[in-house]
Chains A and B, each alone.
Chain A
Amino acid sequence: MKNFAYTRATSTRDAIAQTTGNPSAMVIAGGTNLVDRMKVFLDQPSDLVDLSRLPLKQMERTRSGGFKIGALVTNTTLADHPEIRRDYPLLSRAILSGASQQIRNVATVGGNLLQRTRCPYYYDTAFGCNKRQAGTGCPAATGVNRGHAILGASDQCIATHPSDMCVALAALDAIVEVEGSRGTRQIPFAEFHRLPGDTPQRDTNLEPGEIITSITLPPLPAAKTGVYLKLRDRASYAFALVSVAAILELSGDEIRSARLALGGVAHKPWRSPEAERFLVGKPATPETFTQAAAIALQSAKPLTYNGFKVELSKRIIQRALAVVAKGGGLA
Chain B
Amino acid sequence: MEVNMSQNISQNSNQNATTSVVGTAASRKDGRAKVTGTATYAAEHQLSGLVHGYVVTSPIAKGRIRSINTTAAAQAPGVIAVYTHQNSPQIFKPANNWMNSKIYEARLPLSDDQIHYAGQVVGMVVADTLERARHAAHLVQVDYEPQAPQVNARTANYQPSPPWFGEDFTFNSGSFSTGSAEVTGIEAQIEATYTTEMELHAPMEPHATIAHWQGKDAVTIYEPSQYVLLTQKTYAELLGLAVERVRILSPYIGGGFGSKAFPWPPSILCAAAARDLGRPLKVVNSRRQMTANAGHRSETEQTLKLSATAAGKLVLIEHLAKSCTSPVDVFPEPCTIVTPVMYAAPNIRLEQQLAVMNVGTPTFMRAPGEAPGMWALESAMDELAWTLKIDPVQLRIMNQTQSHQRKNLPFSAKQFTECLEQGAERFGWQGRSPEPRSQVSPSQTQDDLLVGWGMAAATFPGYRGATSAKVRLLPDGTAHVLSSGNDMGTGAYTVVGMTAADALGLPLNQIRVELGDSLLPDGGIAGGSQMTASLTPSVALACQEVLKAAEATTAAAAFEKLRQTGRAAFEATASTAPGEETKQFAFNSWGAHFCEVTVDELLGRLRITRWVSVMNIGRVLNPKTAASQVRGGIIMGMGQALMEECHFDPNTGFPVVYDLATYHFPAHADIPRIEVAFVGEPDLNFNPMGVRGVGEIGITGVAAAIANAVYHATGKRIRSLPILPEKLL
Please determine whether chains A and B interact with each other in the same assembly: yes
Instruction: Decide: A1 and B135 in contact? CB cutoff 8 A.
Output: yes
Query: A312: CB under 8 A from chain B?
Result: yes
Q: Which residue of A lies closest to B59 (CB)?
A: A126
Contacts of B607 in A (CB 8 A): 235
Tell which of B642, B647, B654, B662 touches A234, judged by Cβ atoms closer than 8 Å: B642
Instruction: Decide: B662 and A235 in contact? CB cutoff 8 A.
Output: no
Interfacial residues of chain B within 55-95, with CB under 8 A of chain A in the complex: 59, 77
Most buried by A among B59, B131, B651, B662: B662
Residue interface bits A265-288, CB-to-B below 8 A is 1, else 0:
000000000000000000000000
Bound CA span A22–B247, Å: 53
- A144-B729 contact in complex given A139-B651, A234-B664, A235-B667, C-beta closer than 8 Å: no
- A127-B664 contact in complex given A233-B643, A323-B445, A329-B445, C-beta closer than 8 Å: no
Q: Which residue of B lies closest to A229 (CB)?
A: B603
Bound CA span A163–B52, Å: 36
| Interface segment, one of A115-123, A149-157, A165-173 | A115-123
- A127-B135 contact in complex given A236-B669, A315-B603, C-beta closer than 8 Å: no
Contacts of B446 in A (CB 8 A): 319, 323, 331
Bound CA span A319–B447, Å: 8
Instruction: Decide: A233 and B724 in contact? CB cutoff 8 A.
Output: yes
Contacts of A143 in B (CB 8 A): 649-651, 656
Instruction: Decide: A319 and B602 in contact? CB cutoff 8 A.
Output: yes
Interfacial residues of chain A within 270-309, with CB under 8 A of chain B in the complex: 308
Instruction: Decide: A120 and B657 in contact? CB cutoff 8 A.
Output: yes
Contacts of B134 in A (CB 8 A): 1, 39
Instruction: Decide: A127 and B603 in contact? CB cutoff 8 A.
Output: no
Query: A102: CB under 8 A from chain B?
Result: no
Contacts of B604 in A (CB 8 A): 231, 312
Interface of A is mostly: loop
Instruction: Decide: B726 and A312 in contact? CB cutoff 8 A.
Output: yes
Query: B658: CB under 8 A from chain A?
Result: yes
Instruction: Decide: A231 and B603 in contact? CB cutoff 8 A.
Output: yes
- A1-B603 contact in complex given A330-B445, A331-B446, C-beta closer than 8 Å: no
- A127-B652 contact in complex given A1-B131, A239-B661, A311-B729, C-beta closer than 8 Å: yes
Query: B725: CB under 8 A from chain A?
Result: yes
Residue interface bits A312-330, CB-to-B below 8 A is 1, else 0:
1001101100010011011
Contacts of A236 in B (CB 8 A): 667-670
Interfacial residues of chain B within 653-696, with CB under 8 A of chain A in the complex: 654, 656-658, 661-662, 664, 666-670
Instruction: Decide: A127 and B643 in contact? CB cutoff 8 A.
Output: no
Contacts of B642 in A (CB 8 A): 233-234
Contacts of A142 in B (CB 8 A): 650-651
How far is the CB of A294 from the nearest CB of chain B, in Å? 15
How far is the CB of A313 from the nearest CB of chain B, in Å? 11
Query: B605: CB under 8 A from chain A?
Result: yes
**Interface residue tally for chain A (C-beta within 8 Å):** 40
Contacts of A139 in B (CB 8 A): 649, 651-652
Query: A220: CB under 8 A from chain B?
Result: no
Instruction: Decide: B603 and A120 in contact? CB cutoff 8 A.
Output: no
Contacts of B118 in A (CB 8 A): 126
Query: B138: CB under 8 A from chain A?
Result: yes
Contacts of B77 in A (CB 8 A): 3
Q: Which residue of A lies closest to B601 (CB)?
A: A315
Bound CA span A235–B658, Å: 21
- A234-B725 contact in complex given A120-B657, A139-B652, A315-B603, C-beta closer than 8 Å: no
Contacts of A40 in B (CB 8 A): 658
Residue interface bits A105-127, CB-to-B below 8 A is 1, else 0:
00000000000001011011111
Query: A2: CB under 8 A from chain B?
Result: yes
Q: Which residue of B lies closest to A126 (CB)?
A: B59
Bound CA span A125–B724, Å: 28
How far is the CB of B720 from the nearest CB of chain A, in Å? 14
Contacts of A319 in B (CB 8 A): 446-447, 602-603
Residue interface bits A132-153, CB-to-B below 8 A is 1, else 0:
0000000100111000000000
How far is the CB of A102 from the nearest CB of chain B, in Å? 13
Tell which of A126, A238, A308 touches B654, judged by Cβ atoms closer than 8 Å: A126
Instruction: Decide: B726 and A120 in contact? CB cutoff 8 A.
Output: no
Query: A241: CB under 8 A from chain B?
Result: yes
- A234-B658 contact in complex given A142-B651, A323-B445, C-beta closer than 8 Å: no
Bound CA span A204–B135, Å: 29
How far is the CB of A113 from the nearest CB of chain B, in Å? 20
Instruction: Decide: A144 and B647 in contact? CB cutoff 8 A.
Output: yes
Bound CA span A170–B329, Å: 52
Bound CA span A123–B287, Å: 13
Tell which of B447, B662, B664, B724 touches A120, judged by Cβ atoms closer than 8 Å: B662
How far is the CB of B653 from the nearest CB of chain A, in Å? 11
Contacts of A327 in B (CB 8 A): 445
- A41-B602 contact in complex given A126-B59, A323-B446, A326-B445, C-beta closer than 8 Å: no
Instruction: Decide: A318 and B602 in contact? CB cutoff 8 A.
Output: yes
- A315-B602 contact in complex given A41-B138, A144-B656, A323-B446, C-beta closer than 8 Å: yes
Bound CA span A142–B652, Å: 11
Bound CA span A319–B604, Å: 12
Q: Which residue of A lies closest to B671 (CB)?
A: A235
How far is the CB of A5 from the nearest CB of chain B, in Å? 15
How far is the CB of A304 from the nearest CB of chain B, in Å? 9
Q: Which residue of B lies closest to A36 (CB)?
A: B659
How far is the CB of B348 from the nearest CB of chain A, in Å? 38
Bound CA span A123–B447, Å: 38
Contacts of A234 in B (CB 8 A): 642-643, 664, 666-667, 669-670
Contacts of A237 in B (CB 8 A): 661, 667, 669
Instruction: Decide: B729 and A123 in contact? CB cutoff 8 A.
Output: no
Most buried by A among B603, B642, B667: B603
Contacts of B662 in A (CB 8 A): 118, 120
Bound CA span A235–B668, Å: 8
Most buried by A among B288, B445, B650, B724: B445
Instruction: Decide: A120 and B658 in contact? CB cutoff 8 A.
Output: yes
Instruction: Decide: B664 and A238 in contact? CB cutoff 8 A.
Output: yes
Bound CA span A318–B729, Å: 14
Bound CA span A1–B603, Å: 42
Tell which of B654, B668, B725 touches A312, judged by Cβ atoms closer than 8 Å: B725
How far is the CB of A329 from the nearest CB of chain B, in Å? 5
Interfacial residues of chain A within 14-42, with CB under 8 A of chain B in the complex: 39-41
Bound CA span A238–B447, Å: 24
Bound CA span A308–B652, Å: 25
Instruction: Decide: B661 and A233 in contact? CB cutoff 8 A.
Output: no
Q: Which residue of B lies closest to A142 (CB)?
A: B651
Q: Which residue of B lies closest to A315 (CB)?
A: B602
Bound CA span A56–B494, Å: 52
Q: Which residue of B lies closest to A304 (CB)?
A: B650
**Closest 8 pairs (CB-CB, A-B):** A308-B726, A126-B59, A235-B669, A236-B669, A236-B667, A144-B656, A120-B656, A144-B647
15 A-B pairs besides A231-B604, A237-B669 with CB distance below 8 A are A1-B131, A1-B134, A39-B134, A120-B657, A120-B662, A124-B288, A127-B59, A233-B664, A234-B666, A236-B668, A236-B670, A311-B729, A312-B725, A318-B602, A319-B603
A-B residue pairs in contact (CB < 8 Å), sample of 30: A1-B134, A1-B135, A2-B135, A39-B134, A118-B662, A120-B657, A120-B658, A124-B658, A126-B59, A126-B118, A139-B652, A142-B650, A143-B656, A144-B647, A233-B724, A234-B643, A234-B667, A236-B670, A237-B667, A308-B725, A311-B729, A312-B603, A312-B725, A315-B603, A315-B729, A319-B447, A319-B602, A323-B446, A330-B445, A331-B446
Chain B positions within 8 Å of A, measured between CB atoms, are 59, 77, 118, 131, 134-135, 138, 288, 445-447, 602-605, 607, 642-643, 647-652, 654, 656-658, 661-662, 664, 666-670, 724-726, 729
